[in-house]
Chain A
Amino acid sequence: MREGQPFFRVDWIVDNLDVLARRLGEHVLVTVIAVVVGFVLSFALALLVRRFPRLYGPILGISGVLYAIPSIALFVLLIPITGLSLLTAEIALVSYTLVILVRNIVTGLRSIPPEVIEAAAGMGYTGGQRLWRVELPLALPIIVAGLRIATVTTIGLVTIATLIGRGGLGYLIVNIGINQRFPTATLVGVGLVVALSAVVDWGLLVGQRRLTPWYETRVG
């Protein structure tokens, strides 16, 4: 902390609202890209597992290994290949979402009562109709549960991507707050990360409840 400064400076926040908004926007963008790409990839992998159940072990193993690589190490490994780019950040972030999303989508699809599957087959659903009209709607609560964890995890991880210049709110926390010994920026950055996580998590939960009105009666 620099000498003679108050610990927390509200005037700095007021003067830099545009910076905060830009960093928040970048944070949201990096997160959304990672989660959307991660979801699409995981969905494809889960469908592959639905078709070929034997692939589940290997797919889960590989995504588990990816998940275990420390994020800083992964950035360092990728920089020689993809440089200090958004792509580098996204490759790392997407690979962290896979293990959570694949597991939840597969678990969701496998949680469907066998008699429901049998009834659907017996009434003449095609494989695709069964997937889209029966299995996915029924798996939705478990899929969204995974999406919430993956999204909140990603929001946290994006801050580390500031090391390669794509960190969103991480820029406030590290580059300004820590490197320049300015705690106000760290606190504001952390506060915004927490608030963003909470809002997105709540939003996904509300969305899931809207889409699955049958689920509450079932639990209740």
Chain B
Amino acid sequence: MSQPSPEGDAGHRGAVVALERVTKRYGPPGTPAAVDELTLTIPAGEICVLVGPSGCGKTTTMKMVNRLIEPTAGTITIDGEDVMRLPAVELRRRIGYVIQQVGLFPHLTVADNVGVVPRLLRWAPPRIHERTEELLDLVGLDPATYGPRYPAALSGGERQRVGVARALAADPPLMLMDEPFGAVDPIRRERLQNEFLRLQDKVGKTVIFVTHDVDEAIKMADRIAILQRGGILAQYDTPDAILAHPASEFVERFVGADRGLKRLSLGRVRDLALLEPVIVHAGESRADVRSRLDGVPIEYALLVDEREQPLGWIDQHDLEGSGPIDPGVASPGAPTVQPETTLRDALSAMLGSSVQLGVVVDERERVLGLISVEAISEALRAPVAETPA
């Protein structure tokens, strides 16, 4: 996270956020705490997802960082600076804030909504204008088209993107996001999540992200903090480590019985060792191919065209007799996957086809190798096997 900001100007990268024995109690001393002595350090530029069942204090924890809720005890620092030592409004202007219902100001245009914090900070109008256009571009909304519109004229997804742009306006090193994609339908949520991850690759903010959805947490997080009722930290680790080694029965139940499957979303095809296929071109002799298939673990040959793009599988039955191979016998529909494809998507594609092998291709659709269902399950098993009993 040390490369210069593509946004040009000052370009605040992420800040380190540290919570030190932070407690929030709504009643007098002795009543149960909403958040109990929570200690957590979020490295600069990472997305930390706070996740847990309702009542676990995840939103309370997040709101204590920008002091929408004042902690009862403990300290919270941003890049070493105690949040209690700044006036609350000044602190909040330095922290991006995105909420589920977005909360765009209905009486302001999209451009004016994005410019809200810069105006509070008394930036010069030309600078606000420039920054607004830059941010709308960044979230994929054409400034000339969307800038003059009122929020009522936007779709749910567009509003959420304006909300993100507004939070980024003053280039804060830290963003707080409270179930930001919770109010949109699953398809649009998936798209917004991917967009945000791509955006985060560019801006590299520290992000505290609250959700109750484990799958969203696994997808978005560099690190996940799983909280349980009473604001007790059950586990704080990378998604992979949490899925592979849940620290307690609570975590195991919370991430779900299908945590093996969930880990598939973390792995990519490029993480696996590829198998060498038996590549066949049209016109090769059957006997020849038969002999090449002897002694290799895969019982299918892969027919490719002259550009090395896969055409289909040829099995033993197609190779009986003699003479050259007829390209028409290849059974089509070999699923192709790219190195970037998640293991979950790859597995899904492979299970849906008759030959359960995935053909890995490069960006020009040329064959790189094969993956098998066994290889994926092997990859899943490996780290889990290390778990101490």
Contacts and interface: CB of A to CB of B under 8 A. Distances in A.
Interface of A: 113, 115-126, 129, 134, 137-138, 212-215, 217-218
Contact of A119 (B90, B99, B107, B152): B99
Contacts of B208: none
A113 to B, nearest CB: 7
A218 B152 CA distance: 5
B129 interface: no
Contacts of B117: 123-124
Contacts of A116: 103-106
A214 B152 contact: yes
A121 B68 contact: yes
Nearest to B103: A119
Contacts of B90: 124
Secondary structure at the A interface, as helix, strand, loop or mixed, is helix
A212 B105 CA distance: 13
Contact of A123 (B93, B152, B153): B93
Nearest to A140: B107
A137 B120 contact: no
Contact of B102 (A115, A212, A214, A215): A115
A145 B90 CA distance: 36
Given A118-B99, A121-B68, A217 B107 contact: no
Contacts of B104: 116, 119
Residue from the set B68, B92, B166, B176 with the largest chain A CB neighbour count within 10 Å = B92
A215 B150 CA distance: 9
Contact of B107 (A117, A123, A137): A137
Contacts of A118: 68, 99, 103
A126 B104 CA distance: 17
Contacts of B116: 123
29 contacts: A115-B99, A115-B101, A115-B103, A116-B104, A116-B105, A118-B68, A118-B103, A119-B97, A119-B105, A120-B103, A120-B105, A122-B99, A122-B176, A123-B97, A123-B116, A124-B89, A124-B117, A124-B120, A125-B89, A129-B120, A134-B105, A134-B107, A137-B107, A138-B105, A138-B106, A212-B107, A213-B150, A214-B152, A217-B152
A122 B104 CA distance: 12
